[in-house]
């Protein structure tokens, strides 16, 4: 049988890994796919570098649009990234009847609805396993492996850069800025790390998982994002003393009022497996009503882990290419006409527990004032730690853990607490999730 011909757009880290793994494991992949899969043309602006990587195994061009128009190309792999040119290339590939594989989580989170609608119209597939959590097959698990389940919630460590920073801050007691500089030196963080440390990258990935888990359109613009730049080593130490670990989590949960879609630093009990995921590794915890909690762990980035996911998509498309479009797995797991209009819950309406750290003057009655304000807003205290003031100081830290409450109640209580003359500065608020009880 004639091999599947693939056009590769971009042969950087992941593109190079994809080319090498596909060539190295060619016979094994062919046994699984039922026919050969060959990258026959590569588009990259750096033609000389691309030719050095592929040799004479594939044609190299500098015009990516020539690849998507090439009648001999069956599948296009888009590894350019970004919102603009990548979108134009994917839509052009679809219009020319090509199936598409992409690792572009930012593009799918923002424009996935349009891209999937165009693909359905043209009868082609868009596969995107590599867009979330690198080599971890979380998209396939959500779309196929957990089909029998009503997904209740997902909580994921889905940004390796932020996880590395938090791991180093905890293990070495270093401040955020020092560890960020080390992450940049090691190549884990970009020169401009905004997408990683502000939670935007994680929100892109969470948006995709939420859509698949709950059968809703992509709604990145409604995701709540909060990064790790304001976390201190003191908060990480206090959390540890209370039996918790701080991770940047992407959380999406089905509730009677709507779907939560949020990324923020979160206290997790250290006894949870996901709390012990360290360094640049990723992990996604999925709770289904039938299967219970399932954990998916592995490398969330890197040349060959991500290439593993890209090639898995190539094999899936190869197997399904001759099937009728109506018999294929839907892009978002649910049939397109069965997507729900369930609203995304505003952050003010989310219910969770909280870690609150207050810097107060060491005076009688301070704690009574604080607990009275919390009670006024129906917030009950689960645990409390009051530190002794250092010698010569008149200020002390109080750390409170609350029971579950609505975010807007906590915001109102914090505003009143910060107005107390006995409270110095701002209250540090970090959300807390047990990831087991609910």
Residue 205 annotated in active site = yes
Q: Which of 87, 98, 205, 287 is an active site residue?
A: 205
The three-state DSSP-derived secondary structure of the chain is CCCEEEEEECCCHHHHHHHHHHHHCHHHHHHHHCCCEEEEEEECCCHHHHHHHHCCCCEEECCHHHHHHCCCCCEEEECCCCCCHHHHHHHHHHHCCCEEEECCHHHHHHHHHHHHHHHHHHCCCEECHHHCCCCCCHHHHHHHHCCCCCEEEEEEECCHHHHHHHHHHHHHCCCHHHHHHHHHHHCCCCCCCHHHHCCHHHHHHHHHHHHHHHCCCCCHHHCEECCCCCCCHHHHHHHHHCCEEEEEEEEEEEECCEEEEEEEEEEEECCCHHHHCCCCEEEEEEEECCCEEEEEEEECCCHHHHHHHHHHHHHHHHHHCCCCHHHCCCCCCCCHHHCCCCCECCHHHCEEEEEEEEEEECCCCHHHHHHHHHHHCCCCEEEEEECCCCCCCCEEEEEEEECCEEHHHHHHHHHHHHCCCCECCCCEEEEECCCCCC
**Residues that are catalytic:** 205
């Amino acid at each position: 049988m004639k091999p599947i011909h693939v056009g590769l757009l971009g042969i950087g880290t992941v593109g190079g890994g994809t080319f090498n793994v596909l060539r190295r494991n060619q016979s094994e992949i062919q046994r699984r796919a039922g026919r050969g899969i060959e990258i026959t043309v590569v588009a990259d602006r750096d033609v000389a570098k691309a030719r050095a990587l592929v040799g004479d195994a594939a044609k190299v061009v500098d015009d990516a649009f020539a690849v998507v128009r090439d009648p001999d190309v069956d599948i296009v792999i888009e590894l350019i990234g970004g919102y603009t040119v990548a979108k134009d290339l994917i839509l052009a590939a679809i219009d020319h009847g090509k199936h598409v594989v992409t690792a572009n989580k930012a593009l799918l989170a923002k424009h996935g609805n349009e891209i999937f609608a165009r693909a359905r119209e043209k009868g082609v597939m868009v596969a995107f396993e590599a867009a979330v959590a690198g080599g971890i097959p979380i998209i396939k698990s959500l779309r196929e492996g957990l089909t029998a389940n009503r997904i209740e919630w997902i909580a994921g460590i889905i940004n390796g850069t932020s996880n590395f920073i938090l791991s180093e801050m905890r293990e070495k007691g270093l401040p955020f800025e020092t560890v960020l500089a080390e992450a940049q030196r090691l190549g884990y963080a970009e020169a401009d790390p905004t997408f990683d440390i502000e939670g935007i990258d994680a929100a892109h990935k969470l948006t995709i998982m939420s859509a698949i888990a709950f059968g809703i359109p992509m709604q990145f613009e409604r995701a709540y994002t909060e990064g790790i730049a304001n976390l201190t080593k003191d908060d990480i130490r206090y959390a540890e003393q209370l039996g918790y670990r701080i991770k940047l989590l992407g959380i999406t949960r089905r509730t009677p009022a709507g779907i939560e879609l949020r990324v923020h630093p979160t206290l997790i009990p250290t006894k949870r497996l996901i709390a012990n995921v360290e360094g640049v590794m990723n992990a996604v915890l999925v709770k289904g009503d039938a299967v219970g909690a399932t954990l998916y762990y592995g490398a969330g980035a890197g040349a060959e882990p991500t290439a593993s996911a890209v090639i898995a998509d190539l094999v899936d498309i190869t197997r399904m290419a001759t099937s009728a479009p109506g018999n294929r797995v839907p892009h978002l797991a649910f049939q397109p006409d069965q997507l729900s209009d369930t609203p995304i819950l505003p952050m003010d309406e989310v219910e969770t527990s909280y870690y609150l750290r207050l810097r107060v003057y060491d005076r009688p009655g301070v704690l009574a004032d604080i607990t009275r304000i919390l009670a006024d807003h129906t917030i009950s205290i689960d645990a409390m730690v009051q530190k002794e003031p250092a010698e010569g100081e008149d200020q002390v830290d109080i750390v409170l853990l609350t029971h579950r409450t609505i975010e807007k109640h906590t915001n109102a209580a914090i505003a009143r607490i910060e107005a107390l003359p006995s409270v110095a500065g701002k209250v540090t608020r970090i959300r807390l999730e047990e990831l087991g009880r609910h």
